[in-house]
Amino acid sequence: MEAFLKVEGLTKVFETQAKTRVTAVDHVSFQLEEGETLGVVGESGCGKSTLAKLITRLLEPTAGSILLGGEDITKAHGKALRGAYRRMQMVFQSPMGSFDPRKTIGYSIGESLVNKGVPKAERTQRIATLLEQCGLAAEFAGRYPHEISGGQCQRAAIAQALAIEPKLLICDEATSALDVTVQQQIMDLLKALRRENNLSFLFICHNLALVQSFCDRVLVMRAGKIVEEGTADQLLRAPQSEYTRCLVEAAL
């Protein structure tokens, strides 16, 4: 079966002000099947977030390729990139950054529906359904980002990502800024969405307990490279690399 997301040799090199070159992502290759949840773990600065930004084309790769649904999006721009965003969306660590502070939550969630030409009445109903699906009352559509809590804002950000009905959600530390209780609520929501919508996830997270409870497979990154790959249970119970063992011990 063709992988829904296929990354081969993906590399990103940054040039510093001192004219030195820093390789943030170093020849990373992996595949993600439809309906699968793939975790990415590693210490801060290992390249996890840069990898997510490369896949979503927020950053231009230095080398390598990205295939989404069998289509090469490595150099996609304009219409081709908009087409890719209909199949994948990203949920960020800071949900407030997903919203225009001058616009209501409902306006931001519905923006992609406007672009698709969805009529206003249908759009209003769809926004209400999305909010309710994500555990928020329909009335939240009329609120502004600063009027809701961090957990509520993250739920709204997930609703916004789901509006266009993507097949893949990329979550970049989407729960790390939340307290433990809200964090668990968001994880329960993501699990429900995975069951109901057959979503694929690329789940970037430093919390190994969350990764174990949510992910089918896990990639371990260090200094821009993948140093180990396996099921969550395999990596946590019998890590093969010294680096992974250190991560697991630090989490205990």
- Do the beta carbons of residue 244 and residue 220 sit within 8 Å? yes
Residues in the chain with pLDDT values less than 50: none
Helix (H, G, I), strand (E, B) or coil at 6: strand
Domain positions in the chain:
97-164
User: pLDDT tens, 181-201?
Assistant: 888 888 888 898 888 888 999
User: pLDDT tens, 105-140?
Assistant: 999 999 888 888 889 899 999 999 999 988 899 999
**pTM for this model (two decimals):** 0.90
Among 73, 101, 44, smallest CA distance to 247 is for 44
Q: Looking at 155-215, which runs of residues are DSSP E strands?
A: 168-172, 200-204
